Amino acid sequence: MSGCLVIVSTPIGNLSDFSKRAARTLENSDIIACEDTRMTRKLLALSGRTSTAKLVPYHDHNGATMRPKLLADIGAGKIVALVSDAGTPLISDPGYKLVAACHDNGFKVATVPGPSAPLAALTVSGLPSDKFVFAGFLPPTTRACEAAIRDIRNLSMTIIWFETPRRLLKSLTLMSDILGPRLAVVARELTKMHEEVIRAPLPDLVAQIQRRESLRGEIV
């Protein structure tokens, strides 16, 4: 049997979104390359699954060392599953270089698609979904953040960013200053108990977030 790499999506908060096919793939793989092996062990345990696969870490800091090993395993006929801590691997998560290296070596890459925060957010946003750009995390400094927002100013399509609760107000204020009253959405804690979608023109969104005592959790 020939080896392959399988990209497996996992839940972004709600365990019930762990698909049968994703669970079966992790059970049947020889190796699971995990962003964090503890998180993947926890996912398997909480969903009552067992796997004889060897769990190995694969992240930004060990990718260069791990890639040749994983490629050798796939070349030797092993099934390697790639998972991140939550959602779809490669989407602001490790994996792209491994996928590219598989293609370069003529190895099959398969997908078990599933949850992903940017698409989940887009679908509940009520913002145009015919054309959109996923722009990852906003950069850390104010200057770079302003430049990133200016870059998309003339795009007439939905822009999707990740942001942290701590920086949200500042980023929305910059967006409001640069983009004006463009309609925007904060999608928070999707698929979890405190799921929330706040939708308003940017200046109103800033005012609403300012009135909140605190805003926790994961945000698109």
CB of 94 to ligand SAM, least distance (A): 9
**Amino acid in the structure at residue 200:** A
Contact 91, 118 (CB under 8 A): yes
The distance of closest approach from Cβ of residue 11 to ligand SAM in the complex, given in angstroms and rounded to an integer, is 9
For residue 29, which amino acid is it?
S
| The two structure tokens encoding residue 90 | 């490669």
Cβ proximity to ligand SAM: between 83 and 101 the closer is 83
Binding site for ligand SAM (CB under 6 A): 12-13, 84, 86-88, 91-93, 116-117, 162, 187-192, 218-220
No. of helices (H) and no. of strands (E), the chain: 8, 9
Could you tell me the smallest distance in angstroms from the CB atom of residue 121 to ligand SAM?
Answer: 6
Min separation Cβ 13 and ligand SAM, Å: 4
Phi, psi of 25 (to 5 degrees): -65, -40
Shortest Cβ contact with ligand SAM: which residue? 87
Q: Of the two residues 30 and 189, which places its CB atom closer to ligand SAM in the complex?
A: 189
CA dist., res. 195 & res. 31, Å (int) = 34
Distance, CA of 34 to CA of 55 (rounded, Å): 7
SS3 of residue 84 by DSSP: coil
In the complex with ligand SAM, the residue whose CB is nearer, 3 or 89, is 89
Place of tokens 């998972």: 83
Residue 5, strand partner residues:
80, 109
Residue 125 or 176: which CB sits closer to ligand SAM? 125
Q: Based on CB atoms, which residue is closest to ligand SAM, 13 or 63?
A: 13
CB of 72 to ligand SAM, least distance (A): 26
At residue 5, what is the residue type? L
